[in-house]
Amino acid sequence: FEHLMFGGSVNVPNFDEKMALDLKHTQSFETYLEHEKEIKAKFWKYADIDIDDPMIDQSLRYNIYQLHQSGANDEKRHIAAKGISGEGYEGHYFWDTEAYMLPFFILTHPKQAKSLLMYRYHTLDEARLEAHNLGVSRGAKIPWRTINGKESSPYYPAGSAQVHINSDIAHAIKTYYYATRDDQFMAEFGLEILLETAIFLLEYGHFNDQGFHLYGVTGPDEYTAIVNDNYYTNKMAQAHFSFTYDYVTKHYDKAHQVLEKLSISVEDLTMMKKASDEMTLLIDQHKKIIKQDQSFMDKKELDIQSIPKDHFPLLLNYHPLHIYKHQVLKQADTMVALVFLNDVEKTLYQNTFDYYLKRTTHDSSLSKCIYGISAYHLGLHELAYEYFKYVATLDLEDRKKYTRYGLHAANLGGSYLMLAYGLFGIRMKEILHLEPAYQKEFKTASIHITYHQKNIHISLKDSKITLTSDGPIELMVYGKHVLVEASYTFGVKVN
């Protein structure tokens, strides 16, 4: 099995030697068993969660165990869309890993998170070739679908066109960095990925009188393809550009070597800053709704309630032209940006949520966890609970009737995020942010996380949150800065 996995992985130097070494060091079953027990104990020590709903509790623990077991044990391998549990998506890696699964690893096993990010570093040369393939002479374009680092999407409108993956990886690096302050990783690897993926986007897009634009892209919603100024793509690119610019500025002593290596000039960085400042973020000012892209809200309406149940998922039953010209989403799109970046004021957030939820089929398993987290943010705890149950048990209950092709690995991560981002309102910023959601369905819940090398336990009991840490930790609680020495208790804010 190990051998098969390597067959599809990136090039591993001295492969034969490694195999030989492994064989030479073969030990008794008991030794391996002990080793495995240690690994599992360590896994649960840092990752365990608890919630007073047996079904969700059991499911979440199953889900994170499956993430742990998903086969990404070294830097040459990533996590496939189905982990190693089935043949769906042929073992390919997508944005699913960084966007939906990685936060779990950052919060519980940062070393494994780093290892996953290193996969992108090791395949950066292939991503550079892909940039060329897309007509961009500089930078790197992370493949939408790959094993060995080469783009393997069979259908570019819902594949290569999803240039947001560059910023998804950048967001993952930023998040990892915020949670770990791992400047060594940044200097040696992270910054190079950030810069190369940013330069690609900078060249792919263009400025005009109205600002910086990214045209000819597909956002997360694959039922709306090849559009202009997709909000998610632009918003994530803005964060990508601005974080990269700021990081370089603050760490210029180390960064300048990376810049030289990549032939990235001060002018390039200035343009990056300008693109970030002038990024096009479309909002319908009259309706106070974020526009998914330049034309989504002007498209023909489609009443998804009136479509027969057996016509879903739409992509298997309708021509793409039919799907693309309607106001219909496969999955959360704009809302992903609102969940990841969490910097939109409430009315706009609420209106945007209402508008797109009504038009979303959830034909993708990457959808409901995002809407669920948003629902917690908005105080819609009943809806959030309904979605929480759904995403937690998606595979155990085979809710999509697709689990025979393998587990929905992104949703495994997504179900964890419903607890971490949704219920506890965790966000990984320069310091740890906490905005636990007001809700009535759970009396108790708890989560173990690691932040700034501190082991932290956060528990909910009767609308009170208690955080304990094995060392001093800075927090932002409902926008209030708090320095915690060992423990801190506060009440859940009522919406």
Instruction: Give the interface with its own copies as residue ranges (CB under 8 A).
Output: 133-136, 156-157, 160-161, 204-206, 208, 213, 215-216, 225-226, 228, 294-295, 298-301, 318-325
Nearer to its own copies by Cβ, of 105 and 204: the residue is 204
Q: How far is the CB of 91 from its own copies (least distance, A)?
A: 25
Q: How far is the CB of 126 from its own copies (least distance, A)?
A: 16
Between residues 296 and 442, which has the closer beta carbon with respect to its own copies? 296
Residue closer to its own copies (CB basis): 177 or 204? 204
Instruction: For the CB of residue 271, give the shortest distance to its own copies in the complex, in Å.
Output: 14
Nearer to its own copies, 223 or 356 (CB): 223
Catalytic-residue membership of 130: no
> Is the Cβ of residue 15 or residue 155 nearer to its own copies in the bound state?
155
Nearer to its own copies, 181 or 325 (CB): 325
Q: Among residues 36, 222, 382, 386, which one is catalytic?
A: 222
Nearest approach, Cβ of residue 317 and its own copies (Å): 9
* SS3 sequence of the chain: CHHHHHHCCCCCCCHHHHHHHHHHCCCCHHHHHHHHHHHHHHHHHHHCEEECCHHHHHHHHHHHHHHHCCCCCCCCCCCCCCCCCCCHHHHCECCHHHHHHHHHHHHHCHHHHHHHHHHHHHCHHHHHHHHHHCCCCCCCCCCCCECCCCCCCCCHHHCCCCCHHHHHHHHHHHHHHHHHCCHHHHHHHHHHHHHHHHHHHHHHCEEECCEEECCCECCCCCCCCCECCCHHHHHHHHHHHHHHHHHHHHCHHHHHHHHHHHCCCHHHHHHHHHHHHCECCCEECCCCEECCCCCHHHCEECCHHHCCHHHCCHHHCCCHHHHHCEECECCCCHHHHHHHHCCCCHHHHHHHHHHHHCCECCCCCCCHHHHHHHHHHCCCHHHHHHHHHHHHCCCCCCCCCCHHHCCCHHHHHHHHHHHHHHHCCEEECCCEEECCCCCCCCCEEEEEEEECCEEEEEEEECCEEEEEECCCEEEEECCEEEEECCEEEEECCCC
Q: How far is it, in rounded angstroms, from Cα 461 to Cα 449?
A: 18
Output the smallest distance, CB 353 to its own copies, in A: 23
Q: Which is nearer to its own copies, 225 or 394 (CB)?
A: 225
Minimum CB separation from its own copies for residue 277, in Å?
19
- In the bound complex, what is the minimum distance in angstroms from residue 333's beta carbon to its own copies? 17
Give the residue numbers annotated as catalytic, written as ranges: 222
